[in-house]
Structure 1
Amino acid sequence: MDIDPILLRAFVAVSETGGFTRAARRLNLTQPAVSHQIRRLEELLGRALIRRTTRRLTLTDDGEDLLLHAHGILAGLDALAQRFRPSPVSGVVRFGAPEAFMGERLPALLCQFSRAFPAVRLDVHVSTYLDLHTMIASEELDLAVVLSTAGREHGGIPLRRADFAWVAADNFLLSNGASLPLAFHPPNCINRLVGVAALEATSIDWHIAFTSPSEQGLRAAVRSGLAVAVLMRSDLGPDLRVLDGEYGLPALPSADFVLIRGRGTASPAACAFGKMLVAMESPAAPTETGI
């Protein structure tokens, strides 16, 4: 049995409006056209669906059952059409993020955005915070996630808080009088800037024992017990601990992941991606993001 969805829509309209004339207005059809569609549906099913009287219109038992099925069928068809409807948004979104922000949610978001906006090409750069600032300033990126320790990024939208901490392996030990070994990213990394700035205000003897542009490389050095690093409390994995006040280490500031954009008006594609990213990080935030 092949039931035309047009017939189901006419049936639902009649049942919801309570009459053929009102259903015809909703469907932008004539009343005879709606009556004809209902007769075709009843003939196809071999059942009476509607009781017609001079005062009111009611559904038969078969009509009530069909109405339940019709709602589900039409909802599924509408969802299918929405899923494969050509997106009016097209173009390229050049997006940058630091490795520490990637996690598991961002790759899922990239896939979700690609499915929702198949005509948009994503161009994603993973780099350091300061490099991302530079790329935004030079208009190499449309949007970027950076870390703000003072919250002064113009037009930046806060996404989530990041707390810096001195981190070491569970078995890390420092002999009395020994220089504190540190593992850092290259000089243009905010973790390094924060850590060095805090250390320079103390009398701690320290040295850089390991340098890596990779977050995984840094963590491997820390887990081995080779050095201490500045990481985020939220990113601690197994075999790592926070050195709260140990070895005279100073407190570190908090920061915010913020979404910034390039100068000028953002493209519709960039706006759509920015709103989806903000919604992922702050589901309760208003949908008007200012992107």
Structure 2
Amino acid sequence: MDFDPFLLRAFVAVQSLGGFTRAAERLHLSQSAVSHQIRRLEEQVGVALLVRTTRSLTLTEDGEDFLRHAEQILRAQDALAQRFHRSPVTGAVRFGVPENFIGDRLPSLLARFARLFPAVRLDVTVDTYLALRAQVDGNALDLAVTLSLDGDQGADLLRQTRFVWAAAQGFDLAVHAPLPLAFAPKPCMHRQVGTDALDQAGIGWRMAFTSPSQRGLRAAVQAGLAITVLPQEDLELGMIVVDGRYGLPPLPDASFRLIWNVSGKTSAAEALAQLLAEMSAAPLEGH
């Protein structure tokens, strides 16, 4: 028995809105057309689904059971239509993102965007915060995720975070020894935040490990060779927060923000920004 989805929607609308008049308004049909659809549905089912009086409209026992199945069918149909909907959005988006912004979820974000907007060409650049900002300013990128200490005028907030001092669980600092640090080469925001805080606090330090690779820096920290500065959610297995230990000074709060090219926002870029905002609002796994 195949049910016409238009009849199912009419039935659900009548029940949810409490009558034929409001259902007709919702469906942009006449009241008589909605009544005719309900009669056709009841004839097809072979039982009464609604009990009508001059003052009320209620479901029969069969109607309650039918309603549950009808809603399931319509939800599945809507999901199917959404899944294979082909967006009219076209063009190209040049997008920049730091390696640590949304971790392992970046591939799924890009795959979802490609599925929803197949006519858009997406060019992705993974780089440091400062390099991405320079590329946006230089018209090499349409939009990019960066990390900001003070907030940017005109930049869209994606997620709040804070910097922490991170070390291995078994890290040990010798008495009177300068603090060993692990950072990327200059210019590096993590490096600047950490060394500026230490200098202001009068704490001696030395650069024990330098690498442009985030993986390399984390390996050095996990091995107990040095301490580093990270956004709190970037801590990995084997790392702990050591704020306040060894005389370490407090570090500032920060925020991930979306910066835009001054040439304007295209519909394709705005569609990507919406997906970024949705994913940023979801908590990262393990945090």
- CA deviations on 1:170-227 (whole Å, 9 max, x unpaired) are 3223333444322111212101122232334455443222111121210111111222
User: In the alignment, is residue 224 of structure 1 matched against residue 229 of structure 2?
Assistant: no
What's the counterpart of residue 238 of structure 1? 237
Gaps of 5+ in 2: 283-287
Letter in 2 for 1:281: S
Change in 2 beyond 3 A, CA 1:211/1:7: same
User: 2: CA distance between counterparts of 1:7 and 1:249?
Assistant: 68
What's the counterpart of residue 289 of structure 1? none
Contact 2:180 2:208 in 1 (8 A): yes
Q: Name the SS of the counterpart of 1:164 in structure 2.
A: strand
What's the counterpart of residue 278 of structure 1? 277
User: 2: CA distance between counterparts of 1:47 and 1:19?
Assistant: 19
Q: Name the SS of the counterpart of 1:219 in structure 2.
A: helix
Aligned 1:37-48 pairs, distance under 5 A: 40-47=40-47
Change in 2 beyond 3 A, CA 1:175/1:119: same
User: 1: CA distance between counterparts of 2:150 and 2:31?
Assistant: 65
User: 2: CA distance between counterparts of 1:55 and 1:181?
Assistant: 80
How many residues align? The count is 281
Change in 2 beyond 3 A, CA 1:234/1:25: closer
User: 2: CA distance between counterparts of 1:79 and 1:162?
Assistant: 34
What's the counterpart of residue 161 of structure 1? 160
What's the counterpart of residue 92 of structure 1? 92
User: 2: CA distance between counterparts of 1:218 and 1:176?
Assistant: 24
| TM-score between both structures, scaled by the size of structure 1 | 0.78
Aligned 1:57-96 pairs, distance under 5 A: 62-63=62-63, 65-96=65-96
Contact 2:185 2:212 in 1 (8 A): yes
User: 1: CA distance between counterparts of 2:165 and 2:270?
Assistant: 37
Q: Name the SS of the counterpart of 2:144 in structure 1.
A: strand
User: 1: CA distance between counterparts of 2:252 and 2:34?
Assistant: 71
Contact 1:24 1:34 in 2 (8 A): no
Aligned 1:241-280 pairs, distance under 5 A: 241-280=240-279
| TM-score between both structures, scaled by the size of structure 2 | 0.78
Contact 2:94 2:123 in 1 (8 A): yes
Q: Name the SS of the counterpart of 2:185 in structure 1.
A: coil
Change in 2 beyond 3 A, CA 1:249/1:87: same
Identity of aligned residues (%): 54
Change in 2 beyond 3 A, CA 1:6/1:255: closer
User: 2: CA distance between counterparts of 1:59 and 1:203?
Assistant: 77
User: In the alignment, is residue 150 of structure 1 matched against residue 161 of structure 2?
Assistant: no
RMSD: 3.5
Change in 2 beyond 3 A, CA 1:34/1:183: same
Q: Which has the larger radius of gyration?
A: 1
Change in 2 beyond 3 A, CA 1:57/1:122: same
- CA deviations on 1:258-286 (whole Å, 9 max, x unpaired) are 21111122011211222332233347xxx
Q: CA deviation at 1:136?
A: 0.7
Gaps of 5+ in 1: 284-291
